[in-house]
Amino acid sequence: MLLNKNKTLPEKINQTTNTQWYIIDAKNKNLGRLSSQIAYILRNKNNLKYMPYQISNTYIIIINSKHIKVTGNKAKQKTYKRHSGRPGGLKTETFENLQEKIPNRIIEHSIRGMLPKNSLGRKLFKRVKIYPNNQHPHSAQKPTNLNIK
């Protein structure tokens, strides 16, 4: 059987090695800028061997999610909606209320909206770990600090 020697095949990312763990402090960071940078890194677009259909070996830990900031009047005007699936089951909450109750959901919602809306996006989102304060259980992975402006 003859193979075409002029065909270039992309390199596959080795899933067992080169696992990167990053830690990001969200204290006093802008929600949109932080989320877009995290989505960029999760998609592995910062790598030279970026392929849109491959999952990177990158995990991101976000700490201090309860101290995230938004600009303007968004803290009072921005609403988050969820529906139970039952008639009359629509629940709405403002940014301020959600930040007091469940601060992780704000960043989760923002990052999930910036990832692909398919099975690849769902797999990538599982690589994000969000915590409302300084403590996290991932110190054994030796995460490196990532400074995002």
Domains identified in the chain and CATH numbers:
20-68+101-145 (3.90.1180.10)
C-beta separation of 25 from 63 below 8 A: yes
For the stretch 106-132, pLDDT in tens is: 999 999 999 999 999 999 999 999 999
pLDDT beyond 80 at 13: no
Q: Give the pLDDT confidence score for residue 1 in this predicted structure.
A: 58
Q: Which of 13, 31, 20 is nearest to 75 (CA)?
A: 31
pLDDT beyond 70 at 102: yes
Percent residues over pLDDT 90 in the chain: 79
Tell me the mean pLDDT in the region 54-70: 94
Q: In sequence order, which ranges of the chain are alpha helices (DSSP H)?
A: 31-42, 74-77, 95-101, 103-114, 119-125
pLDDT beyond 80 at 93: yes
For the stretch 19-45, pLDDT in tens is: 899 999 999 999 999 999 999 999 999
